[in-house]
Amino acid sequence: MKITQVSENIWSLRTWAIIPIHVWVVTEEDGLTLVDAGIPTMGKGIRKFLKQLKAGPLKRILLTHGHSDHVGALNKVLQEQPVPVYAHRMEIPYMEGEITYPGRKKPAQSIEKHLAQPLKEDENGNLLRMGALTPYITPGHSPGHVVYYHEKDQVLLAGDLFTSKNGKLHRPIPMFTADMEKAIRSSEVVRQLKPKRLEVCHGNPVLHPVEDLDNYIDRTLTKQKVLKS
Ligand SMILES: [Zn+2]
Ligand SMILES: [Zn+2]
C-alpha cells in the first residue's frame, strides 16, 4: 500500500485492484478519522498505519457512499477499534440492501444493518461538521454520495464524485454511476469551496480543481449528449 502525506493533517493510502483505490486518514484534536474503507485487502495496512502514526486512537469512520470498494475493510478495522461509522441517511438503505441502487438489477448489501449511522444534520438539513471535516451532499454517482472538506488544509476528499487523469477532472466511472447528469451538477461544490487540492478514490489528486471545472462540465456534458443521440 502506498502512503502519501496529502497536507498537514491528511494522509492517503492507496492500493490497486485494476484501478487505484484510496482511503484517507485525518489527524484530529481527539485522535484520527478514517474516510472510506476501501477493499478487504486494505484492512491490515490501514490498521498498521493508524498505529504507526502515533496520533491517538481512531475516533470515527466517514463514508462517501456505500459501494463495495468503499466499505470493504470496515469489519477488519472495527474489529480492532469499534468506532461509529457515518454515511448520509439517503445512502444507508441502499448499502444495507433495503433498496436497489438506480441502474442496478437487484439490491446489493455492502454493509451490515445498523452498522452505519446517519451523518448529523441541523434543523435545516445542513450536514454538521465531523471533526475537522464538513460533509456536503453530492448525489449522482450514488443517491446519497457525500464529499468531505477539510477547511484548514483546503483539501476536498471527493470520493467518486470524479475520477481524474493527468491532473484533470474526469467523470465518475459510468458503469457504476446512477445519474451522470446529477453527478455533473453536484460538481459545483468545487466552485463553492475552491479547494487547493482535490482527492478522488480512483485517480491521482487534482490541484486547484476550480480552474478545470468549466472545462470538465463542458467535456462531460458533450460526452453525455453524444451517448444519448
Ligand atoms: Zn462508487
Ligand atoms: Zn469507487
pLDDT, one tens digit per residue, over 69-84 is 999 999 999 999 999 9
Digit-coded pLDDT (tens) for 120-138: 999 998 999 999 999 999 9
Ligand nearest to the CA of 108: 1
Q: What is the CATH number of the domain that holds 44?
A: 3.60.15.10
d(CA 200, CA 197): 10
The total of structural domains in the chain comes to 1
Give 131's contacts (C-beta < 8 A, 6+ positions apart): 26, 28, 29, 30, 33, 59, 60
The pLDDT of residue 167: 96
The pLDDT of residue 20: 97
User: How much is the average pLDDT of 99-117?
Assistant: 95
CA of 4 to the centre of ligand 2 (A): 19
Mean per-residue pLDDT over the chain, rounded: 96
Q: In the structure, what pLDDT confidence band is assigned to residue 53 with cuts at 50, 70 and 90?
A: very high
Q: What are phi and psi of 219, to 5 degrees?
A: -55, -45
The DSSP secondary structure of 214-229, one letter per residue, reads HHHHHHHHHHHHHHH-
- Give me the torsion for CA of 60, 61, 62, 64, rounded to 10°: 180
Ligand nearest to the CA of 202: 2
CA of 168 to the centre of ligand 2 (A): 18
CA of 205 to the centre of ligand 2 (A): 15
Range of the domain at 58: 2-228
Percent of the chain scoring above 90 in pLDDT: 96
